[in-house]
Structure 1
Amino acid sequence: MFETIHYEDTLNINKAKLYIDCRSPSEFNHSSIPHAINIPVLLDDEREIVGTLYKNGKLEQAKIVGVTAISKRLPDIFTKIIELKTNYDELYFFCSRGGYRSSALVNMLLGVGVKCHKISGGYKSYRKYVNEHLENLISNVKLITLYGYTGTGKTSILNELQNMGYNVLNLEKYANHRGSLLGSIGKSEPFSQKKFESLLFEDLKKSENSYAFAEGESKRIGNIILPASLYTKLRASTKILINSDMDFRINEIKTQYLVDFENDKELIEKTVKKLEKYISESRINMYMDFLKNNNFNDLIQDLCENYYDRNYKLPKENFTKIYNNNNSIEIAKQIAKDFEEYFA
């Protein structure tokens, strides 16, 4: 009989460990334990077939289909796990609720002498742990928040601060969205709410009872809703204002948004057309002409002046520091120097 372990107990084990998600690829991509890898017992199409059979009461047939599906991949799975054991002392397997999928794989591995554990309650128990502790972690972090118009280099500054070893809550990274109308351009699919919360949770643990840098956000980043307590904490934080001239902003936006224009052109056009409810038809047509002629500079400048800046509401409170950014690396160094005592 295999041993089960609660997720929270794995956190106290100071050995090289790896979480292995036995769910289907689509379940894994939607959300998982951060840094877990996916070794699916059933692929997406197989899971759908097995699930349909279960729903129709054909339990034995469902088991046969499941066993047949995974048996074809067992040699590859076993080879991969043997390789992983050379780098990790502990392997923790989980599925949705700690049921059939993880149990079947762990039983098989134990049967051939591979030491491993199953997480009790599976991914559902991990989510319960996050939900129970997230609010406490938010309450214990102290934030220094960067504000500024689109393209002033806030994200680049945060990335540099993180490279320098400072705690950073990169909310847009957790959402895989930049928080603006064009925020999904150049990105893969936006992350789910659960994935956002898991990534936030991981970095909050690193920042517990200490300061962290963050970027000022609205209550939503794309489809992601910020926890109310986190939004309140952002608004009450120590605030920094980042300013930049228009040439810098244009270049920053091109660097962030238009990395692969040819592949993203259709998406950019569709996204710009969503502005029809906010700006005139003549301006939309002008934007389409800019795109057709690859005139990004004029497009970005007009978007900044007539859409972004008009709709971006800076906090009314005083800023502790104001920086004029024309070099994000140097500004990050200056911020680190100016706020050194916060991290002493």
Structure 2
Amino acid sequence: MSHKPTTVADLDEFTVLIDARSPAEYALDHIPGAINCPVLDDEERRIVGTIYVQQSAFEARKIGGAFVARNIARHLDELFRDKSKDWRPLVYCWRGGMRSGSFVNWLRLVGWDAQQLKGGYKAWRAHVIEQIAQRAPALDLRVLCGPTGSAKTRVLQALAEQGEQVLDLEDLAAHRGSVLGAVPGRPQPSQKGFETQLMHRLGGLDPTRRVWVEAESRRIGRISVPEPLLQRLRESPVVEIAASPTARLAYLLRDYAWLGDDRQALADKLGSLRELLPKEVLAQWQAWALDGALTPLFEALMARHYDPLYARSQGRHLARLPNAQRVECEDLSDTGIQHLAARIAQLP
């Protein structure tokens, strides 16, 4: 049984990764594939922390030790009873300290070659940041831009279906990046969770082939695009989808039809624009929302909000927009998007 320091580079050597942190910590972010076997649950962690602050470290360890022993015993009984002697777990907590250390000691007493991740989750987090910083500048990006309603995300999906490499940041962020961009049934991940997914996605890309990505601002909902990737995106070649207003409106009415299912929620979302619009304009938009009148609402959003925002932001953020390749489009139906993607894929 080896007791050498185990680092992030050694992850593939183990049968299973065990995250010994609390469920709340695990939910925010964790090493992909790790299972959560907390030695302290969320409430127990709160209790121990309170005792540590209000009484002493000794009292906290005494109470916490009992929690930890019971929880580890339960995991051994319920999850690991059937594991053979050659089962090899790697355990981590926040910093590679007492939580994972206690777990490893018990597993080793049983006879398994259990190891503790040096530096814990913090070491993993540093690895994620480092990998994004290394991989993002090497990407051969092609940036799709166009005003809201140009079906950029659907074009990305069609490009992927046609064999092109795609980096769909809005899918990773579970948000479409606009005032109405929340995705039904998909809460946004934490910032750390997003970056872990991003690093994993970057690792699967072939650096010798181009990668299509949608033009994004610094923030996608409440998620921030990491600076190395944002800079690479802003300096990369641009392809602009020049769809007609009629095609864009038809696409928006089809793609955002679900907004009409909860009219009050739609009106409330529009309220976030109150600092940008005259009161009477916002009142009219919210009245349309409450009436389910999506056609005049989306026409007004395009003319008064989305298009001016696009005109201001893209020229400022995309260095190579003046030299963009423009692709005209009059049809953003499902078939039209497939044809549009095929045309884009043929560009040099």
Q: Normalized against structure 2, the TM-score is what?
A: 0.81
2:317 corresponds to 1:310: no
**Structure 1: gaps spanning 5 or more residues:** none
Specify the alignment match of 2:318 in structure 1: none
CA drift at 1:294: 1.9
Query: Where in structure 2 are the equivalents of 1:229-248 lying within 5 Å?
Result: 229-246=228-245, 248=247
- 1:332 maps to amino acid: A
CA change 1:72–1:33 in 2 (3 A) is closer
Q: How does 1:324-335 map to 2 (within 5 A)?
A: 324=329, 325-327=332-334, 328-335=337-344
Query: What per-residue deviation string (whole Å, max 9, x for no partner) do you get for residues 115-171 of structure 1?
Result: 443211111011222233322211211101111111221112223333455432222
Larger C-alpha radius of gyration, 1 or 2? 2
Residue 221 of structure 2 corresponds to: 222
Root mean square deviation, CA, Å: 3.2
Q: CA separation in 1, counterparts of 2:32 and 2:253?
A: 30
Shift of 1:254: 5.3
Judged with a 3 Å threshold, the aligned counterparts in structure 2 of structure 1 residues 277 and 5 are, in CA distance, closer, same or farther, namely same
1:179 to 177, 180, 183: 177
Deviation of 1:285 (Å):
1.6
Aligned AA for 1:40? P
Deviation at 1:203, TM superposition (A): 1.8
Report if the CA contact (8 A) 2:143-2:239 is conserved. Answer: yes
C-alpha displacement at 1:106, in angstroms? 2.8
What is the 5 A alignment of 1:119-268?
A: 119-184=117-182, 186=184, 188-207=186-205, 209-210=207-208, 211-246=210-245, 248-250=247-249, 252-253=251-252, 257=256, 259=258, 262=261, 265-268=263-266
Which stretch of structure 1 is more off in the superposition, 212-221 or 69-78?
69-78
Structure 2 segments unaligned to the other structure (5+ residues): 316-320
Aligned residue identity for 2:215: G
Describe the shift of the 1:237–1:326 C-alpha distance in structure 2 as closer, same or farther (beyond 3 A): farther
Deviation of 1:98 (Å): 1.0
Choose 321-330 or 173-182, whichever is displaced more: 321-330
Q: Residues 283-302 of structure 1 correspond to what in structure 2 (within 5 A)?
A: 283-302=281-300
Out of 314, 317, 325, the position equivalent to 1:320 is: 325
List per-residue Cα deviations over 1:285-339 (Å, max 9, x = no partner).
2222222222223322221222111111344422235152433334334433x15
CA distance in 1, matches of 2:245, 2:326: 21
**What's the CA shift for 1:265?**
4.6
In structure 1, C-alpha distance between the alignment counterparts of 2:110 and 2:237, rounded to whole Å: 56
1:177 match: secondary structure: coil
1:19·1:93 contact (CA, 8 Å) conserved in 2? yes
User: 1: CA distance between counterparts of 2:245 and 2:35?
Assistant: 43
Shift of 1:66: 3.0
Is the Cα–Cα contact under 8 Å of residues 185 and 267 in structure 1 kept in the other structure?
A: no
Aligned to 2:79: 80
- How many residues are treated as equivalent by the alignment? 333
Letter in 2 for 1:282: E
SS in 2 for 1:184: coil
Query: Which residue of 2 is the match for residue 6 of structure 1?
Result: 7
The answer to whether the Cα contact below 8 Å between 1:186 and 1:260 also exists between their aligned partners in 2 is: no
| Among 99, 106, 109, the residue aligned to 1:108 | 106
Displaced runs of 4+ in structure 1, greater than 6 A?
A: none
How far apart are residue 212 of structure 1 and its match?
1.3
Partner in structure 1 of residue 23 of structure 2 = 25
Deviation at 1:182, TM superposition (A): 2.2
Q: Once the two structures are aligned, what percentage of the paired residues are identical?
A: 30
Q: Say if 1:176 and 1:187, in contact at 8 Å, map to a contact too.
A: no
**Contact preservation (8 Å) 2:39, 2:71:** no
Aligned partners of 2:328, 2:38: CA distance in 1, in Å?
Answer: 49
Q: Which amino acid aligns with 1:230?
A: L
1:270 alignment partner in structure 2: 268
Secondary structure of 2:38's partner?
A: coil
Residues 28, 232 of structure 1: alpha-carbon distance in 2 compared, 3 angstrom cutoff: same
C-alpha distance in 1, partners of 2:292/2:164? 38
Q: Output the TM-score relative to the length of structure 1.
A: 0.82
